[in-house]
C-alpha cells in the first residue's frame, strides 16, 4: 500500500468529506425530476429498514430532516439534507486500516488459524506447514506480485462462505501479495473482537439491508477513492455467498464499474500509475460451513421467498470451531486459484512489460479524444463493464478444482433424478427416504462417465481436478467428507447401495458442477 492516508486515522474527516463532495457533485447535476425520486427512494427504503430493525435514533433524525425538506424545502435544503445522510453512511462505511495491526496479524493469524484448522490449539505442531497444506494456493502469483507494483489490482473472488475473507487473507499472505481493501457485511462486525480486527485489516462496512440507490452510490464512491489512492481492492462480484452452491454465472456490476471510473480519474490526473487490473479468484471447498442454511435459502429464493441471512452457522462460534476441527484438518480442504488478470475493459493483460505498455497506450483511445482528454460516457462504460463481467464469469470455471464431494453429489443427484423421472428439484427433495436409495452400480456408472468428461475438460484447460485416480477412492473419500460435519449427510451407505440422506445438501454440492456439460443436467 502507499502512504496516501486513506486509512490513516488522522485524515479520517478528509476521507468522509471527499465522499460527501462526490455525492454533492452528482446530486447537483440532477434536475428536480430526477433528484426528488432519488431522495424519496432513500427515504422510503430507510424508513422501512429502520422500522423493521429499530434502535437507530441518529438515522431517524436524519430521515425526519430529509422528509421535511422534501415536503417544504427548496432544492438547496433537499440536497443538504441528503448529504447529512450521506455523511452518516460514509462514517459507517469507512474502515480503520492499521499497518501495524496488519503486520502483527500476518504473524499471529497463521498460528491461530493453524490451531483451528488442526483442531489442536494447545499444541505447537508444524505451525508453518499446517495451514499451508490445508489451504492450497494455485495460479501464477509471482506474475500478480509484479503487476501489483505497477498497477492497482482488483481481486474478484467467487463467494462460497463467510470463511472466504480470512482464508483469502491467508492466501494473499502466503503468496507474498500486499493487503487488499474489502467490503464485509455489517453482521460480521457485530462480534466486537472480530469487528475490531476486520476493520484494521482492511475491511470496510457494507450494510446489505440498505437498499437505497443513494447508499449504493456512497459504496461506489468509496471504492473509487480506494482505487485512485492505489489501495488494492477485493470485490465479491456475486454480491453475496452463492446460495445454490454454483460457481457464479452472473455477477453484479456496480462495484466492478468503479474500476473503469477510477482508471479514468487517474488518466485525467495524468497519473503514470493509472492502470487497474482485475484478477479472478476461484475458491473451491470440500465442504461449506453454512451449506445447510445456504441450500435452504436457495430453495426459498427459487420459491420467491427471498430474504437476507443474518444468522447462520458462521454466527455460532462453536459451529465454526467444530467445522475447523472436523473438516479443515484435511489436506487441501480448500483451494484458492488466482486466474489470469484482465484490464478493466475485460481484455487479457500481456505478460511482457513492453507489450503491456503498448496495451496501455492503445487502451486510452477507448476513453480519450485525439488530444488525450478523458471523455465521460456512462453508456459506453456500462458496455465495458459488461465485458469485464463476462470475462470473470468465463474465468471462474477455469480456476475451479473439482473435488470428491462435488462429483459424488453430482452423480448421486443424477441417479436420483432418473429414478424419480423428473428434473424438478422441489419434487426430488420431497421424495421419501426409501425412494432416495441409489444402486451402487448405477452410481458408479454415472460417476465414471462424468469423470471421463471432466478429464477431457481438464485437458482443454476448462477446469482442474483434485481427485483420486479411481472411482473407489473418490466414493470412499466423499463418504468420509460428508460424514465429518453436517448433522445429515448428502450421501451415505445404505447396505450395499447408497442413499441420498439429505437431498438439499446433495443439490448444493452437486451444483458446483452445473457449469460443466456432463450429460443429463437437471
- Is residue 205 within a helix (H) or strand (E), and if so which, with residue range? strand 203-206
Give DSSP secondary structure letters for 350-407.
PSSHHHHHHHHHHHHTTTB-TTS-B---HHHHHHHHHHHHHHHHHHHHHT-EE-HHHH
Question: Is the model's pLDDT at 351 over the cut of 50?
Answer: yes
- Containing 443, the helix (H) or strand (E) segment is helix 440-459
Residue 168 neighbours by CB under 8 Å, 6+ apart: 155, 157, 180, 234, 281, 283, 336
- The pLDDT of residue 79: 98
Are the C-beta atoms of residues 392 and 275 closer than 8 Å to each other?
no
Q: Does the pLDDT at position 170 exceed 60?
A: yes
Residues 48-61, mean pLDDT to the nearest whole number? 89
Among residues of the chain, what percentage have pLDDT more than 70?
81
* pLDDT at position 122: 40
Summarised one tens digit per residue, pLDDT across range 471-517 is: 999 999 999 999 988 889 999 999 999 999 999 999 999 999 999 98
Distance between CA atoms of 325 and 351, rounded to whole angstroms? 41
Which residue intervals of 276-376 are DSSP H helices? 291-302, 317-326, 353-364
Residue 297 has pLDDT above 90, yes or no: no
Mean pLDDT value across residues 18-38: 97
Q: 49-58, 212-221, 307-316, 483-492 — which is least confidently predicted?
A: 307-316
Residue 2 binned pLDDT confidence (cut-offs 50, 70, 90): very low
Mean pLDDT, residues 321-334 taken together: 63
Selection from 448, 293, 453, 268 nearest residue 374 by Cα: 268
Residue 128 has pLDDT above 50, yes or no: no
Alpha helices in 201-256 (DSSP H): 213-228
- pLDDT value of residue 125: 40
Of 126-135, 368-377, 439-448, the poorest mean pLDDT is in 126-135
Reported as a pLDDT band with limits 50, 70 and 90, residue 8 is very low
How much is the average pLDDT of 96-110? 59
Q: How far is CA 15 from CA 90, 109, 440, 507, in A?
A: 9, 29, 62, 45
Q: pLDDT at residue 4 above 90?
A: no
Give residues with Cβ within 8 angstroms of 203, minimum separation 6: 95, 165, 181, 182, 183, 184, 188
Length of the chain: 522
Q: What's the pLDDT at 148?
A: 96
The yes-or-no verdict on residue 274 having pLDDT over 90 is: yes
Q: What angle do CA 31, 35, 37 make, to 5 degrees?
A: 130
pLDDT at 195: 61
Q: What average pLDDT score do residues 22-45 get?
A: 97
Query: CA 283, CA 168: separation in Å to the nearest integer?
Result: 9
pLDDT at 383 exceeding the cut of 60: yes
β-strand 437-438 against 492-494: which pairing, if any?
A: unpaired
**pLDDT 10s digits, 176-189:** 998 888 887 776 66
Do the beta carbons of residue 278 and residue 255 sit within 8 Å? no
Q: Is 165 helix (H, G, I), strand (E, B) or coil?
A: helix
pLDDT at 463 over 80: yes
Alpha-carbon distance of 378 to 441, in angstroms, equals: 57
* Confidence class for position 220, pLDDT limits 50, 70, 90: very high
Identify which of 186, 165, 184, 154 has the alpha carbon closest to the alpha carbon of residue 255: 154
Give the pLDDT of residue 355.
Answer: 97
Q: How confident is the model at residue 27 (pLDDT cuts 50, 70, 90)?
A: very high
**What is the model's pLDDT at position 313?**
54
pLDDT > 70? residue 166: yes
Q: What is the 3-state secondary structure (H, E, C) of 124-163?
A: CCCHHHHHHHHEEEECCHHHHHHHHHHCEEEEEECCCCCC
Interacting residues of 233 by C-beta distance below 8 A, sequence separation 6+: 152, 153, 154, 155, 180, 181, 182, 223, 226, 227
pLDDT level of residue 120 (50, 70, 90 thresholds): very low
What is the pLDDT at residue 84? 98
Number of neighbouring beta carbons within 10 Å of residue 332: 15
Q: What would the mean pLDDT of 240-252 be, rounded to a whole number? A: 93
pLDDT of residue 182: 82
Considering only residues 194 and 148, tell me which one the structure prediction assigns the higher pLDDT: 148
Give residues with Cβ within 8 angstroms of 437, minimum separation 6: 494, 497, 498, 499
Buried b (16+ CB within 10 A) or exposed e, 163-196: bbbbbbbbbbbbeebbbbbbbbbbbbbeeeeebe
Q: What is the per-residue pLDDT for 124?
A: 37
Question: pLDDT at position 40, please?
Answer: 97
Q: What is the pLDDT of residue 251?
A: 94
The mean pLDDT value of the chain amounts to: 86
Residue 400 gets the label, from left (phi > 0), alpha (psi -120 to 50) or beta, of: beta
Amino acid at each position: 500500500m502507499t502512504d496516501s492516508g486513506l486509512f490513516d486515522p488522522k485524515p479520517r474527516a478528509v476521507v468522509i468529506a471527499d465522499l460527501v463532495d462526490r455525492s454533492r457533485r452528482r446530486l447537483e447535476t440532477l434536475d428536480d425530476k430526477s433528484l426528488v425520486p432519488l431522495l424519496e427512494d432513500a427515504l422510503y427504503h430507510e424508513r422501512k429498514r429502520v422500522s423493521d430493525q429499530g434502535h437507530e435514533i441518529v438515522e431517524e433524525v436524519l430521515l425526519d430532516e430529509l422528509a421535511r425538506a422534501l415536503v417544504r424545502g427548496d432544492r438547496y435544503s433537499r440536497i443538504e439534507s441528503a448529504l447529512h445522510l450521506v455523511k452518516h453512511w460514509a462514517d459507517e462505511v469507512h474502515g480503520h486500516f492499521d499497518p501495524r495491526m496488519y503486520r502483527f496479524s500476518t504473524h499471529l493469524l497463521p498460528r491461530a488459524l493453524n490451531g483451528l484448522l488442526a483442531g489442536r490449539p494447545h499444541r505447537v505442531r508444524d505451525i508453518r506447514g499446517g495451514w499451508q497444506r490445508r489451504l492450497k494456493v494455485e495460479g501464477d502469483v509471482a506474475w500478480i506480485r509484479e503487476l501489483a507494483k505497477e498497477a492497482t489490482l482488483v481481486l474478484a473472488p467467487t463467494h462460497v462462505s463467510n470463511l472466504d475473507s480470512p482464508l483469502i487473507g491467508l492466501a494473499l499472505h502466503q503468496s507474498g501479495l500486499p493487503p487488499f481493501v474489502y467490503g464485509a457485511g455489517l453482521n460480521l462486525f457485530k462480534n466486537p473482537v472480530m469487528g475490531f480486527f476486520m476493520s484494521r485489516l482492511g475491511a470496510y462496512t457494507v450494510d446489505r439491508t440498505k437498499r437505497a440507490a443513494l447508499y449504493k452510490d456512497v459504496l461506489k464512491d468509496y471504492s473509487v477513492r480506494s482505487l485512485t489512492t492505489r489501495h488494492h481492492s477485493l470485490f465479491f462480484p456475486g454480491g453475496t455467498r452463492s446460495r445454490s452452491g454454483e460457481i457464479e454465472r452472473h455477477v453484479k456490476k456496480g462495484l466492478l464499474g468503479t474500476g473503469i471510473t477510477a482508471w479514468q480519474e487517474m488518466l485525467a490526473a495524468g497519473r503514470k500509475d493509472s492502470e487497474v487490473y482485475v484478477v479472478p479468484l476461484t475458491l473451491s471447498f470440500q465442504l461449506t460451513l453454512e451449506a445447510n442454511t445456504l441450500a435452504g435459502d436457495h430453495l426459498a429464493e427459487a420459491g420467491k421467498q427471498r430474504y437476507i441471512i443474518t444468522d447462520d452457522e458462521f454466527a455460532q462460534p462453536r459451529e465454526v470451531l467444530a467445522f475447523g476441527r472436523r473438516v479443515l484438518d484435511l489436506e487441501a480442504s480448500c483451494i484458492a486459484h488466482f486466474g489470469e488478470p484482465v484490464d478493466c475493459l475485460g481484455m487479457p493483460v500481456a505478460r511482457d512489460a513492453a507489450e503491456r505498455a503498448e496495451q496501455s497506450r492503445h487502451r486510452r483511445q477507448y476513453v480519450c479524444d485525439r488530444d488525450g482528454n478523458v471523455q465521460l460516457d456512462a453508456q459506453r462504460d456500462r458496455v465495458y463493464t459488461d465485458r469485464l463481467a463476462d470475462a470473470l464469469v468465463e474465468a471462474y470455471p477455469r480456476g475451479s478444482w473439482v473435488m470428491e464431494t462435488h462429483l459424488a453429489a453430482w452423480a448421486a443427484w443424477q441417479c436420483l433424478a432418473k429414478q424419480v423421472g423428473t428434473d424438478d428439484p422441489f419434487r426430488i427433495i420431497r421424495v421419501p427416504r426409501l425412494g432416495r436409495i441409489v444402486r451402487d452400480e448405477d452410481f458408479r456408472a454415472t460417476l465414471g462417465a462424468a469423470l471421463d468428461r471432466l478429464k477431457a475438460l481438464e485437458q482443454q484447460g476448462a477446469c482442474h481436478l483434485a481427485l483420486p485416480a479411481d472411482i473407489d477412492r473418490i466414493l470412499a473419500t466423499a463418504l468420509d467428507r460428508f460424514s465429518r460435519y453436517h448433522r445429515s449427510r448428502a450421501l451415505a451407505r445404505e447396505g450395499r447401495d447408497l442413499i441420498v440422506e439429505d437431498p438439499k445438501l446433495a443439490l448444493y454440492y452437486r451444483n458446483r458442477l452445473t457449469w460443466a456439460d456432463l450429460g443429463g443436467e437437471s
